[in-house]
Amino acid sequence: MDEPTASFDWTGPTGPFTVLLGPGVFPPTRTSIALAEALEVNPGEVVIDVGCGSGVLGIVAARLGAARVYGTDVVPGAAEIASRNAERLGVGDRTDFRTGSLLEPLKGVMADVVIGDVSGIPDSIAELTGWFPGGHAGGPTGAEVPVAMIEAVADHLKPGGRMYLPTGTIQDERRVLEAARRIFGDAMERLSEVEFPLPAIVARSKAVAKMMSDGLLALRRRGSRVLWRLAIWRCVRV
């Protein structure tokens, strides 16, 4: 097992607590906090956390009363770090973190709740920022990985089950929402929305300018800053 190399102090829902991070393991972000704030888990429910990273959202789900939490992550070592964090925080007996792409490690597992916090950052932007040191970004437009996750969800979500999905104007959001509507129809509700500034190196990049001119990104200028919008959706399988 890779040894932890850093830690993160979580102050979102069910916190505060500290999670350990390992090499290449993506740390919690503002998206993680927004998802946790929107997340509803009823006692006894089964939860899947796709792209679990350090395990923080799965741990939040367990603390909210989930009977069982499954997490997956394609980054080598992430599942081990997430498992260690769950043990440290007293929910190891209700969590099961596995290594693999999206929902592939969970054949036969059906859930009441899916947390769909996978990368939606275009590869070119991820390369500029270094946000994904393992190279596991969201695809050329940032929609490819989320769309693949959405298309796989139908095989793992019980009727009446809920997926919590982040989308952003820093990706081809239209394509992600089209995929979600193919699966969930009109049973989608936007729970929250917030804007964040892009790092200057990203806002000035040719890659962003090209994607904006192609109509893939819908960014907004406010003074000298360029803003992107994050939305959290609850999608119900009817």
Neighbours of 196 (CB within 10 A): 16
* SS3 state of residue 38: helix
Q: Is pLDDT of 236 > 90?
A: yes
| 114 close to 153: Cβ distance less than 8 angstroms | yes
Give percent above pLDDT 90 in the chain: 80
Write the pLDDT tens digit of every residue in 175-223: 999 999 999 999 999 999 999 999 888 888 998 899 999 999 999 989 8
Spatial separation of the C-alpha atoms in residues 124 and 130, rounded to whole Å: 10
Q: What is the structure's pLDDT at 111?
A: 98
Q: Which CATH class is domain 6-236?
A: alpha beta
pLDDT-derived band at 125 (thresholds 50, 70, 90) equals: confident
Q: Is pLDDT of 14 > 90?
A: yes
The first and second tokens of residue 217, run together, are 């990104």
The residue to which tokens 């406010």 are assigned: 222
Query: What one-character DSSP code corresponds to residue 26?
Result: P
Q: Is pLDDT of 116 > 70?
A: yes
